[in-house]
Amino acid sequence: MRLAVVSSDGENVDLHLGKGKSVYVYDYDEELSFVEQRDVEIAEDSKHQGGKVIKACSDCDVLISVQFGFKSKIKAEDAGIKLVMDEGPVDEVLQRYVDHVNFMKN
């Protein structure tokens, strides 16, 4: 499973999806491993830019940010990406999601 988090610093999930200039991508297969940082061109003063972040994460299964809008939710569903709202340290956010997935499987 490929997961992406929206972060201003690579350490914290701390941004709205549409403000995500940086996305950090991880793979999970028994354990989490960092893949890469992806930069997204976001205009500071514009709204509704979640689609740019979703496009940058087209190979991801899950995209985690503090918040996202209704239009982004629709775009993500169309792209086959699950949007999740959470915030905090990246490692804790990712572990919470993985723990939840594993709990739901059992």
Q: Read off the pLDDT of each residue in 36-50 and give the average, rounded to a whole number.
A: 89
Report in angstroms the alpha-carbon separations of 12 from 77, 80, 100, 104.
25, 25, 19, 25
What CATH number was assigned to the domain covering residues 2-105?
A: 3.30.420.130
What does the pLDDT read at residue 30?
87
- Report the percent of the chain where pLDDT is more than 90: 90
Q: Please tell me the distance from the alpha carbon of residue 30 to that of residue 83, in angstroms, as a whole number.
A: 21
**Is residue 66 pLDDT above 80, yes or no?**
yes
Task: Work out the pLDDT band at 43, boundaries 50, 70, 90.
Answer: confident
Give pTM, 2 decimals.
0.94
